[in-house]
Amino acid sequence: MSSDRRPRSTPELLALLERFVRGGDELVAAVKDLSQGEFLAVPVPGRWSVQQLVVHLYESEIVACDRMRRIAAMERPLLMGFDENAFTARLRAERLDGALAASGLALNRRLLAPILSAFAADDPATFDREGVHSERGIVTLAGILEGDCRHLEHHMTFLREKLAVLGRR
């Protein structure tokens, strides 16, 4: 049994859900009071702007939360792959409101957390339910939740680096 498919206790799941919500709040706090110029800046040459990074996180969050909802509600749903570079290039992240994207991510997490918390308390086996990812094969709700937390935490490292170069943290 892979680590993605191991049984989880209610306390473990609730701790993971607290981490999930906290991550969104940390993103909002990190970009609070940035100017539009700071959002659009590319403080680390050859990397995404602060704006592109935040919008990428928001777009990834929409996909991850949709996948979690589908797995919780449906029997082995098909989960399509997500090309982050296509989204960044074609959807023009620079035209969006970076602070609003961060708030949208946090709000999306806060809206999903009570649903998942109820499953953690009443039916923890829901987190072992599976979906079929178009590129990765079988995935579980818990695996997607853990991956979503890790994804944000990974990118927060890059965001902090960008903010430090901008003299903001």
The gap between the terminal CA atoms of the chain, to the nearest Å, is: 42
**Percent of the chain scoring above 70 in pLDDT:** 96
Q: Which residue has the tokens 């990190």?
A: 30
* pLDDT tens profile 139-163: 999 999 999 999 999 999 999 999 9
* pLDDT tens profile 22-58: 999 999 999 999 999 999 999 999 999 999 999 999 9
What does the CA dihedral 66, 105, 160, 21 come to, rounded to 10 degrees?
-90
pTM: 0.92
